[in-house]
Amino acid sequence: MVEVTEKLDTVREAVASGYVSLSKEVIKLIQENQIKKGDPLEIAKIAGIMAAKKTYELIPLCHQLLLTKVDVSLKLEDTGICIESQVVCLGKTGVEMEALTAVSIAALTIYDMCKAVDKSIEIGKIKLLKKTGGKSGIFINKR
């Protein structure tokens, strides 16, 4: 792990996004609450939050962080689901890996819940949109 003992605690925030492409059939089933495993949007939200909290267990050499906020939002669109996560902590190192993990696991949860109906699901466009805190200041990725 990277040594962070001497770094100052600052408020750290990261925002990440991703997209799950789905067939019209799956989108209709989601809208009508007919996915057999349940509501993919609600379950993916919880999965993303849980994943952010366990990022240090999933990715080698990540620091265990005391997260003060994790939010995952999912928006159903005509061609799929847009996922966005926001993670905040007061600490010595950034939370971008936690935000990216939240989006990734939310996307995989949607895949798992919908794969029986749609074999052509695609997960993509996972990226960091914003990072603040520490000496680096603010990073904003133009979508």
List the catalytic residue out of 39, 78, 112, 118.
112
CB 79 within 8 A of CB 21: yes
What one-character-per-residue DSSP string does 52-107 give? HHTHHHHSTTPPP--EEEEEEEEEE-SSEEEEEEEEEEEESS--HHHHHHHHHHHH
CB 87 within 8 A of CB 67: yes
Q: Based on the number of CB atoms within 10 Å of its own CB, is 96 exposed (0-12), middle (13-18) or buried (19 or more)?
A: buried
78 among known catalytic residues: no
Tokens 């699901």 belong to 121
Q: Is the dihedral of CA 13, 138, 135, 100 positive or negative?
A: positive
Active site residues: 112
